[in-house]
Structure 1
Protein backbone atom coordinates (compact mmCIF):
# COMPACT_ATOMS: atom_id res chain seq x y z
CA UNK A 1 0.00 0.00 0.00
CA UNK A 2 1.34 3.45 -0.86
CA UNK A 3 2.21 5.54 2.15
CA UNK A 4 0.46 8.85 2.66
CA UNK A 5 2.48 12.03 2.36
CA UNK A 6 3.29 13.43 5.79
CA UNK A 7 5.02 16.68 4.81
CA UNK A 8 4.80 18.63 1.56
CA UNK A 9 7.15 21.52 0.85
CA UNK A 10 6.43 23.49 -2.32
CA UNK A 11 8.38 26.36 -3.96
CA UNK A 12 9.94 27.44 -0.67
CA UNK A 13 11.90 30.69 -0.98
CA UNK A 14 13.61 32.47 1.90
CA UNK A 15 15.63 35.68 1.62
CA UNK A 16 17.58 37.79 4.10
CA UNK A 17 18.04 41.15 2.45
CA UNK A 18 19.85 40.44 -0.81
CA UNK A 19 20.87 36.91 0.23
CA UNK A 20 18.71 34.01 -0.91
CA UNK A 21 18.95 31.21 1.65
CA UNK A 22 16.39 28.93 -0.06
CA UNK A 23 15.48 29.17 -3.73
CA UNK A 24 12.32 27.39 -4.86
CA UNK A 25 12.87 24.32 -2.68
CA UNK A 26 10.35 21.50 -2.86
CA UNK A 27 10.15 17.95 -1.53
CA UNK A 28 7.80 15.39 0.02
CA UNK A 29 8.35 13.30 3.12
CA UNK A 30 6.26 10.18 3.46
CA UNK A 31 4.69 8.97 6.72
CA UNK A 32 7.19 6.88 8.67
CA UNK A 33 10.10 7.83 6.42
CA UNK A 34 13.61 8.89 7.41
CA UNK A 35 14.33 11.73 4.97
CA UNK A 36 17.77 13.38 5.00
CA UNK A 37 18.84 16.83 3.85
CA UNK A 38 22.53 17.24 3.05
CA UNK A 39 24.77 19.91 1.61
CA UNK A 40 27.89 21.95 2.32
CA UNK A 41 27.95 24.54 5.08
CA UNK A 42 25.62 27.41 4.21
CA UNK A 43 23.55 25.29 1.83
CA UNK A 44 20.28 26.13 3.62
CA UNK A 45 19.68 22.92 5.54
CA UNK A 46 18.88 24.48 8.91
CA UNK A 47 16.89 27.22 7.18
CA UNK A 48 14.47 24.52 6.01
CA UNK A 49 13.96 23.42 9.61
CA UNK A 50 13.46 27.01 10.73
CA UNK A 51 10.74 27.42 8.11
CA UNK A 52 9.04 24.13 8.96
CA UNK A 53 8.78 24.92 12.68
CA UNK A 54 7.80 28.55 12.17
CA UNK A 55 10.96 30.36 13.31
CA UNK A 56 11.46 31.83 9.82
CA UNK A 57 8.66 33.16 7.62
CA UNK A 58 9.47 32.38 3.95
CA UNK A 59 8.75 34.98 1.30
CA UNK A 60 7.15 32.35 -0.95
CA UNK A 61 6.03 28.75 -0.95
CA UNK A 62 3.89 26.52 1.24
CA UNK A 63 4.59 23.88 3.86
CA UNK A 64 1.81 21.41 4.58
CA UNK A 65 1.70 18.75 7.30
CA UNK A 66 -0.99 16.32 6.25
CA UNK A 67 -4.01 18.53 5.56
CA UNK A 68 -2.72 21.45 7.65
CA UNK A 69 -0.78 24.40 6.23
CA UNK A 70 2.15 25.31 8.51
CA UNK A 71 3.36 28.45 6.76
CA UNK A 72 2.36 31.54 8.72
CA UNK A 73 1.80 29.68 11.99
CA UNK A 74 3.73 30.36 15.19
CA UNK A 75 6.35 27.91 16.50
CA UNK A 76 4.09 27.10 19.47
CA UNK A 77 1.11 26.21 17.31
CA UNK A 78 3.30 24.09 15.03
CA UNK A 79 4.71 22.23 18.04
CA UNK A 80 1.14 21.58 19.18
CA UNK A 81 0.49 19.94 15.79
CA UNK A 82 3.19 17.36 16.53
CA UNK A 83 6.39 18.87 15.11
CA UNK A 84 9.40 18.49 17.42
CA UNK A 85 13.04 19.40 16.90
CA UNK A 86 16.52 18.83 18.22
CA UNK A 87 19.25 21.44 17.80
CA UNK A 88 22.88 21.50 16.67
CA UNK A 89 23.82 23.22 19.93
CA UNK A 90 22.32 21.73 23.06
CA UNK A 91 19.26 23.59 24.29
CA UNK A 92 19.04 21.86 27.67
CA UNK A 93 18.68 23.77 30.95
CA UNK A 94 21.94 22.95 32.70
CA UNK A 95 20.68 23.51 36.25
CA UNK A 96 17.67 21.20 35.82
CA UNK A 97 17.85 17.42 36.10
CA UNK A 98 17.57 15.28 33.01
CA UNK A 99 14.03 14.21 33.91
CA UNK A 100 12.94 17.82 34.45
CA UNK A 101 14.37 18.77 31.05
CA UNK A 102 12.34 15.99 29.47
CA UNK A 103 9.24 17.12 31.36
CA UNK A 104 9.55 20.47 29.59
CA UNK A 105 8.77 18.60 26.39
CA UNK A 106 5.36 17.73 27.88
CA UNK A 107 4.43 21.35 28.60
CA UNK A 108 2.17 21.80 25.57
CA UNK A 109 0.27 18.64 26.53
CA UNK A 110 -0.56 19.83 30.05
CA UNK A 111 -3.99 21.30 30.75
CA UNK A 112 -3.87 22.47 34.37
CA UNK A 113 -3.13 26.09 35.22
CA UNK A 114 -0.25 27.70 37.07
CA UNK A 115 -2.06 28.00 40.41
CA UNK A 116 -2.99 24.32 40.61
CA UNK A 117 0.52 23.41 39.50
CA UNK A 118 2.10 25.52 42.24
CA UNK A 119 0.15 23.75 44.98
CA UNK A 120 0.39 20.34 43.24
CA UNK A 121 -3.07 19.14 44.15
CA UNK A 122 -6.08 17.57 42.46
CA UNK A 123 -5.97 17.41 38.69
CA UNK A 124 -2.52 19.02 38.53
CA UNK A 125 -1.02 16.28 40.70
CA UNK A 126 -2.69 13.50 38.72
CA UNK A 127 -1.61 15.08 35.44
CA UNK A 128 2.03 15.42 36.47
CA UNK A 129 2.16 11.82 37.63
CA UNK A 130 0.82 10.70 34.25
CA UNK A 131 3.30 12.85 32.33
CA UNK A 132 6.22 11.67 34.46
CA UNK A 133 5.27 8.09 33.61
CA UNK A 134 5.36 9.00 29.91
CA UNK A 135 8.77 10.63 30.35
CA UNK A 136 10.04 7.51 32.12
CA UNK A 137 9.14 5.47 29.04
CA UNK A 138 11.34 7.79 26.94
CA UNK A 139 14.15 7.44 29.49
CA UNK A 140 13.88 3.65 29.22
CA UNK A 141 13.84 3.78 25.40
CA UNK A 142 17.03 5.86 25.28
CA UNK A 143 18.68 4.06 28.22
CA UNK A 144 19.04 7.28 30.22
CA UNK A 145 18.04 5.78 33.56
CA UNK A 146 21.41 6.18 35.34
CA UNK A 147 21.32 9.93 34.60
CA UNK A 148 17.69 10.54 35.61
CA UNK A 149 18.51 12.94 38.47
CA UNK A 150 21.76 14.36 37.06
CA UNK A 151 21.76 18.10 36.24
CA UNK A 152 21.91 18.47 32.46
CA UNK A 153 25.00 20.65 32.74
CA UNK A 154 26.92 17.72 34.25
CA UNK A 155 25.97 15.14 31.61
CA UNK A 156 28.64 13.69 29.31
CA UNK A 157 28.30 15.23 25.85
CA UNK A 158 26.99 12.10 24.14
CA UNK A 159 24.41 11.58 26.89
CA UNK A 160 23.35 15.23 26.67
CA UNK A 161 22.73 14.81 22.93
CA UNK A 162 20.61 11.78 23.75
CA UNK A 163 18.73 13.81 26.36
CA UNK A 164 18.05 16.46 23.69
CA UNK A 165 16.49 13.70 21.57
CA UNK A 166 14.54 12.52 24.60
CA UNK A 167 13.03 15.94 25.22
CA UNK A 168 11.85 16.08 21.60
CA UNK A 169 10.35 12.59 21.91
CA UNK A 170 8.61 13.61 25.13
CA UNK A 171 6.53 15.98 22.98
CA UNK A 172 4.96 12.90 21.33
CA UNK A 173 5.80 14.16 17.83
CA UNK A 174 4.50 12.80 14.57
CA UNK A 175 7.29 14.69 12.74
CA UNK A 176 10.77 14.93 14.25
CA UNK A 177 13.38 17.36 12.90
CA UNK A 178 16.90 16.16 13.74
CA UNK A 179 19.45 18.94 13.32
CA UNK A 180 22.91 17.30 13.30
CA UNK A 181 22.19 14.79 16.08
CA UNK A 182 25.76 13.38 16.06
CA UNK A 183 27.68 16.64 15.68
CA UNK A 184 30.78 16.56 17.89
CA UNK A 185 30.39 12.89 18.80
CA UNK A 186 33.09 10.25 18.62
CA UNK A 187 32.59 7.03 16.67
CA UNK A 188 31.15 5.04 19.56
CA UNK A 189 28.68 7.78 20.48
CA UNK A 190 27.65 8.14 16.82
CA UNK A 191 26.97 4.42 16.53
CA UNK A 192 24.92 4.53 19.74
CA UNK A 193 22.84 7.43 18.42
CA UNK A 194 22.23 5.57 15.14
CA UNK A 195 20.98 2.60 17.14
CA UNK A 196 18.64 4.76 19.22
CA UNK A 197 17.23 6.52 16.14
CA UNK A 198 16.59 3.15 14.51
CA UNK A 199 14.82 1.94 17.64
CA UNK A 200 12.73 5.12 17.90
CA UNK A 201 11.62 4.68 14.32
CA UNK A 202 10.81 1.01 14.80
CA UNK A 203 8.89 1.39 18.05
CA UNK A 204 7.24 4.79 17.65
CA UNK A 205 6.83 5.10 13.87
CA UNK A 206 7.86 8.75 13.96
CA UNK A 207 8.48 10.46 10.61
CA UNK A 208 11.95 12.04 10.69
CA UNK A 209 13.89 14.62 8.71
CA UNK A 210 17.62 14.42 9.32
CA UNK A 211 20.15 17.19 8.67
CA UNK A 212 23.63 15.79 9.07
CA UNK A 213 27.21 16.11 7.80
CA UNK A 214 28.14 12.54 8.75
CA UNK A 215 27.58 10.85 5.41
CA UNK A 216 28.02 7.37 6.80
CA UNK A 217 25.12 7.95 9.18
CA UNK A 218 22.98 9.38 6.36
CA UNK A 219 23.74 6.46 4.06
CA UNK A 220 22.96 3.95 6.81
CA UNK A 221 19.69 5.46 8.06
CA UNK A 222 17.99 7.50 5.36
CA UNK A 223 15.36 6.18 2.94
CA UNK A 224 15.78 9.18 0.63
CA UNK A 225 18.08 12.18 0.49
CA UNK A 226 17.76 15.77 -0.73
CA UNK A 227 21.02 17.54 -1.58
CA UNK A 228 21.20 21.33 -1.48
CA UNK A 229 23.83 23.76 -2.69
CA UNK A 230 23.51 27.49 -1.90
CA UNK A 231 19.80 27.00 -1.19
CA UNK A 232 19.08 25.24 -4.49
CA UNK A 233 18.00 21.56 -4.69
CA UNK A 234 20.50 19.68 -6.85
CA UNK A 235 19.48 16.03 -6.35
CA UNK A 236 16.84 13.87 -4.67
CA UNK A 237 16.84 10.10 -4.49
CA UNK A 238 18.06 7.10 -2.56
CA UNK A 239 21.30 7.55 -0.60
CA UNK A 240 23.28 5.65 -3.24
CA UNK A 241 21.80 7.69 -6.10
CA UNK A 242 22.57 11.00 -4.42
CA UNK A 243 26.02 9.95 -3.25
CA UNK A 244 27.02 9.07 -6.81
CA UNK A 245 25.39 12.06 -8.49
CA UNK A 246 28.17 14.05 -10.23
CA UNK A 247 26.52 17.38 -9.38
CA UNK A 248 26.51 16.44 -5.70
CA UNK A 249 30.13 15.31 -5.86
CA UNK A 250 31.12 18.61 -7.43
CA UNK A 251 29.19 20.62 -4.82
CA UNK A 252 30.99 18.82 -2.01
CA UNK A 253 34.42 18.39 -3.53
CA UNK A 254 34.62 21.06 -6.20
CA UNK A 255 34.88 18.45 -8.93
CA UNK A 256 38.00 16.90 -7.40
CA UNK A 257 36.53 13.39 -7.35
Structure 2
Protein backbone atom coordinates (compact mmCIF):
# COMPACT_ATOMS: atom_id res chain seq x y z
CA UNK A 1 0.00 0.00 0.00
CA UNK A 2 1.28 3.47 -0.94
CA UNK A 3 2.04 6.00 1.79
CA UNK A 4 0.38 9.33 0.99
CA UNK A 5 1.52 11.34 4.03
CA UNK A 6 4.46 11.12 6.40
CA UNK A 7 4.29 13.08 9.64
CA UNK A 8 7.56 12.28 11.37
CA UNK A 9 8.76 13.33 14.85
CA UNK A 10 7.07 16.72 14.71
CA UNK A 11 7.59 19.19 17.56
CA UNK A 12 5.68 22.47 17.83
CA UNK A 13 5.97 24.76 20.84
CA UNK A 14 4.46 28.10 21.85
CA UNK A 15 6.94 29.37 24.38
CA UNK A 16 7.03 26.77 27.15
CA UNK A 17 3.87 25.04 25.91
CA UNK A 18 4.46 21.95 23.78
CA UNK A 19 1.45 21.76 21.48
CA UNK A 20 2.86 18.85 19.44
CA UNK A 21 5.52 16.75 21.12
CA UNK A 22 7.21 14.13 18.97
CA UNK A 23 4.14 13.04 17.00
CA UNK A 24 4.67 10.58 14.16
CA UNK A 25 2.19 8.82 11.89
CA UNK A 26 1.57 7.90 8.27
CA UNK A 27 -1.56 7.90 6.15
CA UNK A 28 -1.88 5.21 3.53
CA UNK A 29 -3.71 5.18 0.23
CA UNK A 30 -7.51 4.78 0.64
CA UNK A 31 -7.22 5.07 4.45
CA UNK A 32 -9.41 6.90 6.94
CA UNK A 33 -7.03 7.85 9.75
CA UNK A 34 -8.49 9.43 12.90
CA UNK A 35 -6.79 11.60 15.51
CA UNK A 36 -8.49 11.72 18.90
CA UNK A 37 -7.67 12.99 22.35
CA UNK A 38 -9.04 15.03 25.24
CA UNK A 39 -9.76 18.72 24.73
CA UNK A 40 -6.55 20.71 24.28
CA UNK A 41 -4.56 17.60 23.33
CA UNK A 42 -3.06 19.18 20.20
CA UNK A 43 -5.32 17.85 17.46
CA UNK A 44 -5.97 21.26 15.87
CA UNK A 45 -2.25 22.04 16.09
CA UNK A 46 -1.53 18.96 13.99
CA UNK A 47 -4.04 20.11 11.37
CA UNK A 48 -2.51 23.59 11.38
CA UNK A 49 0.94 22.12 10.79
CA UNK A 50 -0.39 19.99 7.95
CA UNK A 51 -2.11 22.91 6.24
CA UNK A 52 0.82 25.32 6.66
CA UNK A 53 -0.71 27.63 9.27
CA UNK A 54 2.05 26.70 11.75
CA UNK A 55 5.65 25.74 11.07
CA UNK A 56 7.06 23.24 13.56
CA UNK A 57 10.49 23.68 15.14
CA UNK A 58 11.42 20.09 14.35
CA UNK A 59 10.23 17.17 12.25
CA UNK A 60 9.25 16.19 8.74
CA UNK A 61 5.91 16.48 6.91
CA UNK A 62 5.83 14.97 3.41
CA UNK A 63 2.81 14.71 1.09
CA UNK A 64 3.39 12.35 -1.84
CA UNK A 65 7.10 13.11 -1.90
CA UNK A 66 6.76 16.87 -1.38
CA UNK A 67 8.03 18.40 1.86
CA UNK A 68 5.39 20.75 3.26
CA UNK A 69 7.60 22.52 5.80
CA UNK A 70 7.95 26.20 4.99
CA UNK A 71 5.17 26.16 2.40
CA UNK A 72 2.27 28.56 2.67
CA UNK A 73 -1.33 27.26 2.82
CA UNK A 74 -2.20 28.14 -0.82
CA UNK A 75 0.83 26.21 -2.08
CA UNK A 76 -0.08 23.19 0.06
CA UNK A 77 -3.63 23.33 -1.28
CA UNK A 78 -2.26 23.27 -4.83
CA UNK A 79 -0.38 20.08 -3.98
CA UNK A 80 -3.72 18.48 -3.18
CA UNK A 81 -4.57 19.00 0.47
CA UNK A 82 -8.08 20.20 1.33
CA UNK A 83 -9.63 20.90 4.72
CA UNK A 84 -13.04 21.30 6.27
CA UNK A 85 -13.52 23.29 9.47
CA UNK A 86 -15.25 22.68 12.77
CA UNK A 87 -16.93 26.08 12.48
CA UNK A 88 -18.63 26.39 9.11
CA UNK A 89 -16.69 28.73 6.81
CA UNK A 90 -19.13 29.27 3.93
CA UNK A 91 -20.45 32.38 2.18
CA UNK A 92 -23.98 32.56 3.57
CA UNK A 93 -25.38 34.82 0.84
CA UNK A 94 -24.11 32.66 -2.03
CA UNK A 95 -25.92 29.60 -3.33
CA UNK A 96 -24.79 26.03 -2.78
CA UNK A 97 -23.52 25.92 -6.37
CA UNK A 98 -21.55 29.14 -5.98
CA UNK A 99 -19.95 27.94 -2.73
CA UNK A 100 -18.93 24.69 -4.40
CA UNK A 101 -17.54 26.59 -7.40
CA UNK A 102 -15.21 28.44 -5.02
CA UNK A 103 -13.51 25.11 -4.42
CA UNK A 104 -12.51 25.04 -8.08
CA UNK A 105 -10.47 28.25 -7.89
CA UNK A 106 -7.09 26.54 -7.94
CA UNK A 107 -8.02 24.73 -11.15
CA UNK A 108 -8.86 27.92 -13.07
CA UNK A 109 -6.52 28.58 -15.98
CA UNK A 110 -7.82 31.89 -17.36
CA UNK A 111 -7.45 35.52 -16.36
CA UNK A 112 -9.81 38.25 -15.21
CA UNK A 113 -10.42 39.73 -18.67
CA UNK A 114 -11.32 36.35 -20.18
CA UNK A 115 -13.66 35.72 -17.26
CA UNK A 116 -15.40 39.06 -17.81
CA UNK A 117 -15.88 38.41 -21.53
CA UNK A 118 -16.75 34.73 -20.93
CA UNK A 119 -15.58 33.57 -24.34
CA UNK A 120 -13.26 30.88 -25.64
CA UNK A 121 -11.15 29.13 -23.05
CA UNK A 122 -12.85 30.86 -20.12
CA UNK A 123 -16.29 29.71 -21.22
CA UNK A 124 -15.16 26.13 -21.86
CA UNK A 125 -13.39 25.91 -18.51
CA UNK A 126 -16.34 27.38 -16.66
CA UNK A 127 -18.65 24.77 -18.14
CA UNK A 128 -16.21 21.99 -17.25
CA UNK A 129 -15.95 23.19 -13.66
CA UNK A 130 -19.72 23.46 -13.36
CA UNK A 131 -20.10 19.88 -14.57
CA UNK A 132 -17.69 18.76 -11.85
CA UNK A 133 -19.65 20.72 -9.23
CA UNK A 134 -22.89 19.11 -10.37
CA UNK A 135 -21.28 15.69 -9.88
CA UNK A 136 -20.51 16.65 -6.27
CA UNK A 137 -24.09 17.89 -5.80
CA UNK A 138 -25.32 14.46 -6.88
CA UNK A 139 -22.74 12.62 -4.76
CA UNK A 140 -23.73 14.49 -1.57
CA UNK A 141 -27.44 14.52 -2.42
CA UNK A 142 -27.71 18.32 -2.47
CA UNK A 143 -29.96 18.61 -5.53
CA UNK A 144 -32.95 20.17 -3.78
CA UNK A 145 -30.79 22.93 -2.25
CA UNK A 146 -28.40 23.61 -5.13
CA UNK A 147 -29.76 27.15 -5.86
CA UNK A 148 -30.57 28.09 -2.25
CA UNK A 149 -28.43 30.61 -0.36
CA UNK A 150 -26.36 28.59 2.11
CA UNK A 151 -27.41 30.77 5.04
CA UNK A 152 -31.01 29.55 4.68
CA UNK A 153 -30.12 25.86 4.91
CA UNK A 154 -30.26 23.56 7.95
CA UNK A 155 -27.00 23.20 9.87
CA UNK A 156 -26.42 19.60 8.79
CA UNK A 157 -26.82 20.52 5.12
CA UNK A 158 -24.37 23.40 5.53
CA UNK A 159 -21.80 20.95 6.91
CA UNK A 160 -22.40 18.82 3.82
CA UNK A 161 -21.81 21.85 1.57
CA UNK A 162 -18.54 22.54 3.37
CA UNK A 163 -17.51 18.96 2.66
CA UNK A 164 -18.53 19.40 -0.97
CA UNK A 165 -16.42 22.53 -1.36
CA UNK A 166 -13.38 20.60 -0.14
CA UNK A 167 -14.16 17.79 -2.60
CA UNK A 168 -14.39 20.36 -5.40
CA UNK A 169 -10.67 20.95 -4.93
CA UNK A 170 -10.05 17.34 -6.03
CA UNK A 171 -7.83 16.66 -3.02
CA UNK A 172 -5.17 14.00 -2.73
CA UNK A 173 -5.61 14.17 1.05
CA UNK A 174 -8.69 15.45 2.88
CA UNK A 175 -8.59 16.85 6.43
CA UNK A 176 -11.91 16.60 8.28
CA UNK A 177 -12.07 18.83 11.36
CA UNK A 178 -14.96 17.56 13.51
CA UNK A 179 -17.27 16.78 10.57
CA UNK A 180 -20.26 15.87 12.78
CA UNK A 181 -19.88 18.54 15.49
CA UNK A 182 -23.30 19.87 16.49
CA UNK A 183 -25.24 17.34 14.43
CA UNK A 184 -28.17 15.21 15.57
CA UNK A 185 -28.15 11.42 15.22
CA UNK A 186 -29.70 11.32 11.74
CA UNK A 187 -27.33 13.99 10.39
CA UNK A 188 -24.37 12.15 11.92
CA UNK A 189 -25.36 8.89 10.28
CA UNK A 190 -25.73 10.64 6.92
CA UNK A 191 -22.31 12.28 7.23
CA UNK A 192 -20.72 8.96 8.20
CA UNK A 193 -22.13 7.43 5.03
CA UNK A 194 -20.73 10.22 2.86
CA UNK A 195 -17.31 9.93 4.49
CA UNK A 196 -17.22 6.19 3.82
CA UNK A 197 -18.30 6.82 0.22
CA UNK A 198 -15.44 9.29 -0.19
CA UNK A 199 -13.00 6.62 0.96
CA UNK A 200 -14.51 3.67 -0.89
CA UNK A 201 -15.81 5.26 -4.12
CA UNK A 202 -13.65 8.34 -4.61
CA UNK A 203 -10.66 6.65 -2.94
CA UNK A 204 -9.50 9.82 -1.22
CA UNK A 205 -7.44 9.25 1.95
CA UNK A 206 -8.57 11.26 4.96
CA UNK A 207 -7.43 12.42 8.37
CA UNK A 208 -10.33 13.02 10.72
CA UNK A 209 -10.35 14.84 14.06
CA UNK A 210 -13.56 14.04 15.89
CA UNK A 211 -14.96 13.90 19.44
CA UNK A 212 -17.79 11.50 18.65
CA UNK A 213 -16.19 8.24 19.77
CA UNK A 214 -19.01 6.12 18.40
CA UNK A 215 -18.43 7.52 14.91
CA UNK A 216 -14.65 7.18 15.13
CA UNK A 217 -14.78 3.57 16.30
CA UNK A 218 -17.31 2.67 13.60
CA UNK A 219 -15.64 4.11 10.51
CA UNK A 220 -11.91 4.76 11.10
CA UNK A 221 -9.33 2.31 9.75
CA UNK A 222 -6.66 3.39 12.23
CA UNK A 223 -6.67 5.79 15.16
CA UNK A 224 -3.96 7.81 16.87
CA UNK A 225 -4.57 9.05 20.41
CA UNK A 226 -2.68 12.09 21.69
CA UNK A 227 -2.68 13.77 25.10
CA UNK A 228 -0.98 17.08 25.95
CA UNK A 229 0.59 17.01 22.49
CA UNK A 230 2.21 13.62 23.05
CA UNK A 231 1.23 10.42 21.21
CA UNK A 232 -0.33 7.79 23.47
CA UNK A 233 -1.17 4.97 21.06
CA UNK A 234 -1.86 4.18 17.41
CA UNK A 235 -3.82 1.20 16.17
CA UNK A 236 -7.10 -0.21 14.94
CA UNK A 237 -10.31 0.76 16.74
CA UNK A 238 -10.29 -2.54 18.64
CA UNK A 239 -6.69 -2.05 19.75
CA UNK A 240 -7.38 1.51 20.87
CA UNK A 241 -10.48 0.52 22.84
CA UNK A 242 -8.49 -2.04 24.81
CA UNK A 243 -5.39 0.08 25.41
CA UNK A 244 -5.06 0.96 29.13
CA UNK A 245 -2.93 4.05 28.37
CA UNK A 246 -5.73 5.43 26.20
CA UNK A 247 -8.30 4.82 28.93
CA UNK A 248 -6.11 6.60 31.47
CA UNK A 249 -5.65 9.57 29.10
CA UNK A 250 -9.42 10.02 28.92
CA UNK A 251 -10.54 9.05 32.39
CA UNK A 252 -7.49 9.46 34.57
CA UNK A 253 -7.50 5.88 35.79
CA UNK A 254 -8.57 2.33 35.05
CA UNK A 255 -11.95 2.18 33.39
CA UNK A 256 -14.07 0.16 31.05
CA UNK A 257 -14.05 0.03 27.29
CA UNK A 258 -13.28 3.33 25.52
CA UNK A 259 -16.15 2.58 23.17
CA UNK A 260 -18.54 3.28 26.05
CA UNK A 261 -17.29 6.82 26.60
CA UNK A 262 -19.61 8.38 24.02
CA UNK A 263 -19.30 12.00 22.99
CA UNK A 264 -16.42 13.75 24.73
CA UNK A 265 -17.71 17.25 23.93
CA UNK A 266 -15.91 19.80 21.83
CA UNK A 267 -13.70 22.80 22.28
CA UNK A 268 -10.89 24.05 20.10
CA UNK A 269 -7.28 23.44 21.16
CA UNK A 270 -5.91 26.58 22.80
CA UNK A 271 -2.88 28.02 21.09
CA UNK A 272 -1.38 31.35 21.84
CA UNK A 273 0.74 32.85 19.09
CA UNK A 274 2.75 31.95 16.06
CA UNK A 275 5.70 29.81 17.12
TM range (shorter): over 0.9
Q: 2:252 aligns with which of 225, 230, 254?
A: 254
The corresponding residue for 2:239 is 241
The corresponding residue for 1:206 is 204
The corresponding residue for 1:73 is 71
**CA offsets per residue over residues 44-96 of structure 1, 9 Å max, x none?**
11111110111111111110012111111111111011100000000101111
> Matched residue pairs, number?
255
Preserved CA contact (<8 Å) 2:244 2:254: no
Three-state SS of the structure 2 residue aligned to 1:71 is coil
Query: Is 1:231 the equivalent of 2:248?
Result: no
Three-state SS of the structure 1 residue aligned to 2:216 is helix
The Cα of 1:125 is off from its aligned counterpart by 1.1
The corresponding residue for 1:171 is 169
Three-state SS of the structure 2 residue aligned to 1:28 is strand
The Cα of 1:213 is off from its aligned counterpart by 0.5
CA distance in 2, matches of 1:229, 1:166: 31
After superposing on structure 2, the runs of 4+ consecutive aligned residues of structure 1 that deviate more than 6 Å are none
The corresponding residue for 2:83 is 85
Query: Considering only aligned residues, what root-mean-square deviation do their CA atoms show, in Å?
Result: 0.8
The corresponding residue for 2:272 is none
Extract unaligned runs of 5+ from structure 1.
none
CA distance in 2, matches of 1:15, 1:216: 31
The corresponding residue for 1:46 is 44
Stretch of structure 1 that moved more, 79-88 or 9-18: 9-18
Extract unaligned runs of 5+ from structure 2.
256-275
Q: 2:147 aligns with which of 146, 149, 156?
A: 149
The corresponding residue for 1:123 is 121
Q: 1:29 aligns with which of 27, 51, 59?
A: 27
Q: 1:58 aligns with which of 51, 56, 59?
A: 56
Preserved CA contact (<8 Å) 2:52 2:70: yes
CA distance in 2, matches of 1:117, 1:221: 42
The Cα of 1:119 is off from its aligned counterpart by 2.2
Q: 1:221 aligns with which of 204, 219, 222?
A: 219
Q: 1:133 aligns with which of 127, 131, 134?
A: 131
CA distance in 2, matches of 1:243, 1:154: 40
Preserved CA contact (<8 Å) 2:29 2:205: yes
The Cα of 1:256 is off from its aligned counterpart by 5.4
Preserved CA contact (<8 Å) 2:30 2:200: no
Three-state SS of the structure 2 residue aligned to 1:172 is coil
The corresponding residue for 1:4 is 2
CA distance in 2, matches of 1:239, 1:46: 21
Query: Is 1:96 the equivalent of 2:126?
Result: no
Query: Is 1:113 the equivalent of 2:111?
Result: yes
